Amino acid sequence: MSLLDVVGVHKRFRSGTGVVRAVNGVSFAIPEGEVLGIIGESGSGKSTVARIAVGLMPPDEGTVVFDGRDLSTMSGRERRTLRTSIGIVFQEPFASLDPRRTALESVLEPLEVQRPGRAAACGRTSAAREALSRVGLGPDLQERYPGRLSGGEQQRVGIARAIVTRPRLVLLDEPTSALDRSIRGDILDLLGSIQREEGLTYCLISHDVETINHLSDRVLVMYRGEVVESGPTDDVLDSPRHPYTQALLSARLPLDPRAELPVLPLPAERPAGGSRCPFFERCHRAAAECTAGPIPVVECAPGHRVACAGLDLPR
Report the nearest approach of ligand ADP to the CB of residue 36 (Å): 15
Report the nearest approach of ligand ADP to the CB of residue 65 (Å): 21
- Cβ nearer to ligand ADP, comparing 46 with 270: 46
User: Which one of ligand ADP, Mg ion, none interacts with residue 44, CB within 5 to 8 A by kind?
Assistant: ligand ADP
- Cβ nearer to ligand ADP, comparing 56 with 74: 56
- Cβ nearer to Mg ion, comparing 94 with 145: 94
Give the distance from CA 217 to its chain's centroid: 13
- Cβ nearer to ligand ADP, comparing 107 with 215: 215
Q: For Mg ion, which residue has the nearest CB?
A: 47
Residue 36's DSSP bridge partners are 203, 218
- Cβ nearer to Mg ion, comparing 42 with 73: 42
Report the C-alpha gap between 101 and 206 in whole angstroms.
28
Contact 224, 266 (CB under 8 A): yes
Residue 128 neighbours by CB distance under 10 Å: 24
Alpha helices (H) in 135-176, listed in sequence order: 139-142, 151-163
Q: Which helix (H) or strand (E) holds 21?
A: strand 18-31
User: Which one of ligand ADP, Mg ion, none interacts with residue 48, CB within 5 to 8 A by kind?
Assistant: ligand ADP
The binder of Mg ion chosen from 47, 155, 213, 245 (CB under 5 A): 47
User: Which one of ligand ADP, Mg ion, none interacts with residue 216, CB within 5 to 8 A by kind?
Assistant: none
Sign, CA torsion 268/24/9/275: positive
Report the C-alpha gap between 85 and 61 in whole angstroms.
24
Which residues make up the interface to ligand ADP (CB under 6 A)? Answer: 13, 15, 20, 22, 40, 42-48
Residue 38's DSSP bridge partners are 205, 220
